[in-house]
Each structure stands twice: as C-alpha cells, then as structure tokens.
C-alpha cells in the first residue's frame, strides 16, 4: 500500500491510492501528509479507514515514510538524498522509530507515543505521536456522485476521460456550461468523513536529518509492510 505527497516550502499534498487490498485495516493507508511548521518537517500517515475503535497498532505491520531530498521540484530532477523513517509498534503505547539513510541510523526514538505531546528522541530532532484521530480529509460523496452522473451523459457516455473515468478534455468554456447545467448541487453536500476516525502516525523531524547540501525540496511517500 502506498500514498504519495510532495513537500515544497510550506506546501502539502495527499493522495488516496492503493496497489492492492490491504491484508489488515492497520496496513490500509488513507492519506500521507507533509508540510513545514517553522523549522520542522511534519509527516503524517493515516491508516485504518473509518476506524471503529477496535483496531490497534502492533508488531504485525511495519510503517515507513520514504523521503527523497532534492534541490528543486521535478520528476526528472536527477539524484537526491534518500531517507526513511521506519516505525515499529509492540502496542498502542510502545513504539520504536528509526531515521535511516545510506544504511546508517541517523536518529532513534522509543517510548509511548499515545500522549498528545508525543515522544521525543534524545537528540530532540525527532518527535512521534501515534493514536486515533478524526479523519482530516474532506470528501463530498453526494456532490461527487451528482457531478459524475451529470457529466457522463452530457459528454457522450462513461468513456469521457482518463483511465479512472475523470473528465480530462473539457475546456474552460465547456466546464462553465456544464457547471451551470448541474446547478449548485455538486457543492452543497457535507463532509462524508466528518464522523470517521483513523489511526494516525505523526512524525515531526528536523530537516537536517533529511536534506543534504543545498537541497530544499522533499518528495514523500508512505508504505506499510504487513505479515500474511
């Protein structure tokens, strides 16, 4: 399972994608977030979508943030410094996280991450919280369904765009026309995740553990590794 995010200056992004069904809710990533807060890089991995309160962190799943530090944005930008933040849990109240790069451990934190203040490494460069939180994502399911059902017939059927069925060949004028025809209903729905919880891993890290030289951009993605 993987989710992707790109950090540039104070930007952030998240994505809900999966290569295959997860073997456990605790291995099922909903989102990965990355952003700068002051001089610290914040990383968040949310798992266990629509968590019902019965799931818990444990040794069956390993969690990893994958970071590539580069001097500028761009998929074609060569090179980069690779760093991983790997977290292992014995339970909700017992965790170990390593910051590794090039086969070397750059920092390490161990303890109970369930307190909202988190647990901090001896160097002070890494802080980790892990626990149940309200799902921060916003998704208007009713508006999405209304938009898709309204767009498809007006554009000549279901094969109207990319492999996911999302319209990708609509010029601005056509978009405005369709928006007026659909009315305000696509934007009038509520957040479908408002009552949903997730299990979150939140890492705050000093960028000196990630960047090298003059690198100022970090590409971030997350993965879970579960036993079968």
Provide the residue-wise pLDDT of the chain in tens; the chain has 228 residues. 333 434 333 444 455 555 555 678 999 999 999 999 999 999 999 999 999 999 999 999 999 999 999 888 776 777 788 999 999 999 999 999 999 998 999 999 999 999 999 999 999 999 999 999 998 888 777 777 777 776 666 665 545 566 666 666 666 777 676 666 655 554 556 777 777 899 999 999 999 999 877 788 899 999 999 875
The per-residue pLDDT for 146 is: 72
Q: Is 30 within 8 Å of 109 (Cβ atoms)?
A: no
Q: Which of 46, 41, 131, 124 is nearest to 94 (CA)?
A: 131
The pTM assigned to this predicted structure is 0.76
- Edge-to-edge order in the sheet of strand 104-111: 2-8, 217-226, 61-70, 81-91, 94-101, 104-111
Burial of 40 (0-12, 13-18, 19+ CB in 10 A): middle
Contacts of 21 (CB under 8 A, 6+ apart): none
d(CA 170, CA 178): 10
Cβ neighbours of 77 (radius 10 Å)? 13
CA atoms within 13 A on the CB side of 173: 0
DSSP 13-34: ------SS--SSGGG-EEEEEE
Cβ neighbours of 201 (radius 10 Å)? 24
d(CA 200, CA 11): 20
**Number of helical (H) and strand (E) elements in the chain, helices listed first:** 2, 11
Q: Is 137 within 8 Å of 31 (Cβ atoms)?
A: yes
Domain boundaries, the chain: 2-136+196-226, 141-187
């Amino acid at each position: 399972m993987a989710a992707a995010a790109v950090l540039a200056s104070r930007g952030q992004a998240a994505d809900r994608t999966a290569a295959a069904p997860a073997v456990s809710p605790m291995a099922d990533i909903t989102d990965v977030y990355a952003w700068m807060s002051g001089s610290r890089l914040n990383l968040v991995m949310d798992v266990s979508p629509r968590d019902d309160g019965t799931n818990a962190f444990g040794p069956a799943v390993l969690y990893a943030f994958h970071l590539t530090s580069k001097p500028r944005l761009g998929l074609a930008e060569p090179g980069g410094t690779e760093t991983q933040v790997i977290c292992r849990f014995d339970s909700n109240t017992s965790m170990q996280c390593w910051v590794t790069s090039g086969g070397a451990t750059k920092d390490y934190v161990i303890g109970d991450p369930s307190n909202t203040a988190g647990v901090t490494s001896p160097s002070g460069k890494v802080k980790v919280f892990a626990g149940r939180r309200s799902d921060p994502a916003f998704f208007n399911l009713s508006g999405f369904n209304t938009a898709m059902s309204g767009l498809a017939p007006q554009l000549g059927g279901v094969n109207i765009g990319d492999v996911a069925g999302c319209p990708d060949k609509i010029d601005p004028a056509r978009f405005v026309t369709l928006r007026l025809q659909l009315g305000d209903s696509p934007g009038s729905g509520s957040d479908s995740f408002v009552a949903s919880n997730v299990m979150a891993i939140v890492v705050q890290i000093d960028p000196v553990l990630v960047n090298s030289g003059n690198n100022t951009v970090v590409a971030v993605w997350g993965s879970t590794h579960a036993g079968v």
